[in-house]
Amino acid sequence: MERTVSGRTPTGRTATRRGLLAGAGLVGVAAGLAACTSDKGSGGGTGGATESPKPDPNAAAATIVTPAKDATGVSAATEIVYELKNATEATVELKDANGTVVTGELRADGSSWVPAKTLGYSMAYTLTVTATGSDGKTGTTTSGFTTMAKPSKTVRVTSFLGDNAKAGVGMPLMYKFSRAIPEAQRAEVQKRLFVSSEPVQDGIWHWFSGTEVHYRPKEYWQAGTKVNARLAIGGLDMGDGYYGKGDITLENLTIGSAVIMVADNKTKQMTVTKDGKVVKKIPISLGKPSTPSSSGTVVIIEKFVHTIFDTYAELGPELGYRTPIDYAQRLTWGGEYIHSAPWSISSQGKRNVSHGCLNMSPANAKWLFNLTSIGDPVITKGTERQLKNGNGWTHWNMTWDEYVKGSAVPFVSAVTPTPAPSESESATPDPTASATATATPSA
């Protein structure tokens, strides 16, 4: 299974750590110990103490770094950090006081082992790390710790999406905290926000405020992608004496076909593509000069087969209107929609007469409504007004570099680059050969 972004989502497997990590003070290695001596040379006798076996300096060994041995008050969101010596891999076993095994998984960069769920409060745990050397021999280290008491001040987190949802290729993952996370604490919180996708795609979190953090991939999601997320904040220090109330997960978000709409003010046409192929060009009427449509990239926020546009409260009795609308698809919080407009058919494809919406015929509006999903991108070009970030889901109105600036931790690619051919490889590919490509996730 391929996975992506800021660490692998813990999935419930007992993890194996591979590779040699250098470390000092490793358990199981008694460096610099002198060999025991016999009585030879002190009296000429042949008797005396039996020589003790020397510790093997090449034996596989592990040192548990975090949590410290017999530590108390350990965070229920703790991660297991250990170091290896003379080892090619290691296994981690964590058990609670009842002997129940807690599953978990290594971060993709191997920096720590993450339990698959929040640990219990005021509970004792036994931790065993077994290192395996290249010769197959093992070295085992055991430790124990007790977790913190249940906190009284907690922060809840809520998700816009639910399990088994379906969305368009531009859909962001959006989460809200019940209390603002202090800026100094956001990096530690963000490190516990895991997203995985199949296939693996780069992406990052962006803090829009202390209470909102959103995730988007570097490019639009690939059609058919499966996305899972775990915000592992249960028991996590959220700053100012507050702790995460509990983990929240998103399971089996399915990304649909790549439906992308481009509305061009110059041609008064909307070009609709599906999976890279143009499937329709629709005549439209955009916002007139006094109420122009916004140029920029948004995604569809919500959809209504039937609704009523009521602007009396906003515009007053002289300019306001109340109109039934069919096949409405919201683009901005400011009130711009794609919708059916039978009253402007004669202007569609020719001139702009709307209050900022993208008007189209009832037949075209129904056809498009049945094609699209929440999260499908809509790009409007060439109007008198530029889209303001925050007026809708404007994640794609920012460049990737701009989006990365909103992260509290540096971006690290999850996608392994394809290696360049070596000089010994033929420059001409073999047409009969088959090829596969794989990507390895990283933190």
Q: Looking at the domain assignment, is residue 207 inside a domain? A: yes
Structural element, H or E, at residue 188: helix 186-190
- Is residue 146 domain-shared with residue 159, that is, in the same domain? no
- Is residue 245 domain-shared with residue 321, that is, in the same domain? no
Residue 326, Cβ neighbours under 10 Å: how many?
Answer: 16
- Is residue 113 domain-shared with residue 146, that is, in the same domain? yes
| Domain end among 86, 120, 150 | 150
**Enzyme catalytic residues:** 339, 357
Q: What pLDDT, on a 0 to 100 scale, did the predictor assign at position 310?
A: 77
Is the pLDDT at 33 greater than 60? The verdict is: no
- Is residue 1 domain-shared with residue 116, that is, in the same domain? yes
Q: What is the pLDDT confidence band of residue 203, given thresholds at 50, 70 and 90?
A: very high
Q: What pLDDT, on a 0 to 100 scale, did the predictor assign at position 227?
A: 98
Q: Looking at the domain assignment, is residue 106 inside a domain? A: yes
Q: Looking at the domain assignment, is residue 391 inside a domain? A: no
Q: Looking at the domain assignment, is residue 330 inside a domain? A: yes
**Which residues form the domain of 366?**
259-383
- Could you report the per-residue pLDDT of 363-404, keeping only the tens digit for each? 999 999 999 999 999 999 999 999 999 999 999 999 999 999
Is the pLDDT at 17 greater than 90? The verdict is: no
| Domain end among 383, 400, 422 | 383
Task: For residues 226 and 230, give the distance between their C-alpha atoms in angstroms, rounded to a whole number.
Answer: 14
- Among residues of the chain, what percentage have pLDDT more than 90? 74
Q: What is the pLDDT confidence band of residue 21, given thresholds at 50, 70 and 90?
A: very low
Is the pLDDT at 163 greater than 60? The verdict is: yes
Q: What pLDDT, on a 0 to 100 scale, did the predictor assign at position 49?
A: 56
Residue 219, Cβ neighbours under 10 Å: how many?
Answer: 12
Q: What pLDDT, on a 0 to 100 scale, did the predictor assign at position 420?
A: 54
- Is residue 146 domain-shared with residue 163, that is, in the same domain? no
- Could you report the per-residue pLDDT of 236-282, keeping only the tens digit for each? 999 999 999 999 999 999 999 999 999 999 999 999 999 999 999 99
Strand partners, 390: none
Average pLDDT of span 300-328:
82
Is the pLDDT at 38 greater than 50? The verdict is: no
Residue 396, Cβ neighbours under 10 Å: how many?
Answer: 21
Query: How large is the C-alpha radius of gyration of the chain?
Result: 30
- Is residue 75 domain-shared with residue 202, that is, in the same domain? no
- Is residue 12 domain-shared with residue 112, that is, in the same domain? yes
Q: What pLDDT, on a 0 to 100 scale, did the predictor assign at position 417?
A: 67
More confident residue, 49 or 85: 85
Show Cβ contacts of residue 143 under 8 Å, excluding neighbours closer than 6 positions: 64, 67, 69, 70, 126, 127, 128
**Angle at alpha carbon of residue 403, lines to 271 and 265, rounded to 5°:** 25
Q: Looking at the domain assignment, is residue 437 inside a domain? A: no
- Is residue 3 domain-shared with residue 116, that is, in the same domain? yes
- Is residue 140 domain-shared with residue 2, that is, in the same domain? yes
Burial (Cβ within 10 Å: 0-12, 13-18, ≥19) of residue 246 = middle
Q: How many domains does the chain have?
A: 3
Q: What pLDDT, on a 0 to 100 scale, did the predictor assign at position 315?
A: 63
- Is residue 91 domain-shared with residue 128, that is, in the same domain? yes
Q: What pLDDT, on a 0 to 100 scale, did the predictor assign at position 415?
A: 84
